[in-house]
Amino acid sequence: MLSSSRDVMKRLLIVLIPALLFTSCRTNPPITPENRISGKIFLKVNFNFVPQSRIINKVVLLEDFANVSCQPCVGSNLFIKSLTREVYGPEKLVAVKYHTFFPGPNDPLYTANKPLYDSKISFYNVFFAPTTIIDGLERPDTSALGQKIDTRLTTAPPFEIIVTDTFISGSYYIDVRVNSLSTIDLTNLMLEAAVIEEEIEFDNAPGSNGETKFYDVARKILPQIDGLSLADVQQSGSNIMDIEDDLLESWQTNKLNVVVFIQNKLSKEVLQAGTVLK
């Protein structure tokens, strides 16, 4: 019964939202947040070679490019929020949002994190907002999003990703366990841990589209913008990697989460994703 209700909701959302996504964009310079360091992030990645025959479910990664002065982004953001929170849930679908310098060049989320966002814009050759990418491969319009997600959910992932986190004495501790389920060429694979803020709210709209709430915004990619190369990981036993970075004062610690994914940097395919289930 629950599955049936979700299917109905999915169909309704896919029909109703697209009409909101194709209006013009204007610009309006907003305010840039500050970036003072308030603590540390400690990331531990435990990569294990655990060949087994048990079934592991695919978790799909949705990456979205948006801007505070992009009118179509209003409907797109709400639609993606409904997919991640209501239709699929984090056991099946996770989202990471990147902000752009177009159409509004002074988007405060973009200006606070230009190197990260510029890197992602270049990597995917994004030219307009909103642009939504499924598992690094598909760029469907809103009406086809559900279908593309469902198709990717049927693929068999070569990895299992388990993520946990906790705050201790003002520092953010993230533990990632990756189980490699079969022998696979790791040469071009990168692991990225995206620290996201699940909800950011402004008192006044920072751009011209009227939005004050933004969801699943990428704040940092660990251990670096390009991620962690798996090329040198030994496919036997356990490989443990420890990474340390800064926690910024402007982030709401009670809204932080982390989305971890493994991606082939040549094909851009995301083989598996995972997040902290809260």
Q: For every one of its 278 residues, what pLDDT tens digit does the chain have, with 9 covering 90 and above?
A: 445 545 544 555 444 444 444 333 433 333 444 578 999 999 999 999 887 777 899 999 999 999 999 999 999 999 999 999 999 999 999 999 999 999 999 999 999 999 999 999 999 999 999 999 999 999 999 889 999 999 999 999 999 999 999 999 999 999 999 999 888 899 999 999 999 999 999 999 999 999 999 999 999 999 999 999 999 887 667 789 999 999 999 999 999 999 999 999 999 999 999 999 97
pLDDT computed for residue 20 by the predictor: 41
Residue 72 token pair: 């179509």
Reported pTM: 0.87
pLDDT computed for residue 26 by the predictor: 35
Query: Is 137:50 a contact under the CB 8 Å cutoff?
Result: no
DSSP bridge partners of 259 = 194, 275
Please report, for the chain, the start and end positions of each structural domain, with discontinuous segments joined by +: 2-275
Sequence-separated (6 or more) residues with CB below 8 Å from residue 263: 136, 189, 190, 192, 227, 269, 270, 271
pLDDT computed for residue 242 by the predictor: 96
Give the C-alpha separation, 257 to 275, whole Å: 7
CA-based nearest residue to 47, from 277, 240, 185: 240
Sequence-separated (6 or more) residues with CB below 8 Å from residue 112: 32, 33, 35, 250
pLDDT computed for residue 187 by the predictor: 93
Residue-averaged pLDDT of the chain: 89
Residue 24 CB neighbours (<10 A): 8
